Amino acid sequence: MSLEQINNFFISPELTSYLLPLKIVFIIASAAFLYLIGYYIIKQVLMINERKRMFQDFFGKQDFNSYSYLFNRWKEIEKVAATKDEINYKLAIMNSEGLLFDLFRSLKYEGKELKELIPQAVDKGLVENPEVLNALIDLSHKIKADPVYKLDPEKAEYLLAGVREVVARLKIV
């Protein structure tokens, strides 16, 4: 095969018509890639601006309103517990433990766990029945350790009533 025959083969109309569908696919793929490149450039600029705003908000002068934060968390716990099914009771118990920890930490009590904070709350007169809160902590740890733990709804209601009493005593509700 000579060089002239190879050249004639590459410029022949049969090869051009045979490769036309492949050319169309490559043109569409190229257009899609160009679109995606433009999309991700715009998205990256927006993400950088959002990160800059979040950074400025974090270090800017902001007054954290712990009262409204704790109030909203308590309302969410009550809404979850109002469904009265076992899964939501478990969620309410675990969230109540976190709420009490955040609540006592916002009152400047020292400790790394909720069990360390409860005696300080008892000393200040915020908690009348620390056994309820200790039972709440134990139940929460059981639920975290064993997700299929069978929860008694009456016990969950009793413990949530104890948390409700503490939250009411602190005038969060």
Q: Could you report the per-residue pLDDT of 2-30, keeping only the tens digit for each?
A: 888 888 888 888 888 888 899 999 999 99
Provide Rg for the chain, Cα atoms. Answer: 32
- pLDDT of residue 99 exceeding 80: yes
Of 76 and 54, more confident: 76
170, with CB counted inside 10 A (0-12, 13-18, 19+), is middle
Maximum distance among all alpha carbons in the chain?
102
Q: Enumerate residues 6+ apart whose C-beta is below 8 A from 73.
A: 95, 98, 99, 102
* Mean pLDDT rounded to a whole number for the chain: 86
Instruction: Give the model's pLDDT for residue 85.
Output: 87
Instruction: Give the model's pLDDT for residue 9.
Output: 83
Instruction: Give the model's pLDDT for residue 64.
Output: 59
What is the phi-psi region of residue 50: left when phi exceeds 0, alpha when psi lies from -120 to 50, beta otherwise?
A: alpha
- HSE-up (13 A, CA, CB side) for residue 24: 6
54-64 pLDDT tens trace: 777 677 655 55
- pLDDT of residue 50 exceeding 60: yes
- Domain edges within the chain: 3-59, 66-169
- pLDDT of residue 157 exceeding 90: yes
Give me the percent of the chain exceeding a pLDDT of 70.
95
Q: CA distances (Å), 41 to each of 29, 38, 61, in order?
A: 18, 5, 32
Cα(28)–Cα(34) distance, rounded to whole angstroms? Answer: 10
**pTM for the model:** 0.61
Do residues 160 and 132 touch, judged by C-beta distance below 8 A? Answer: no
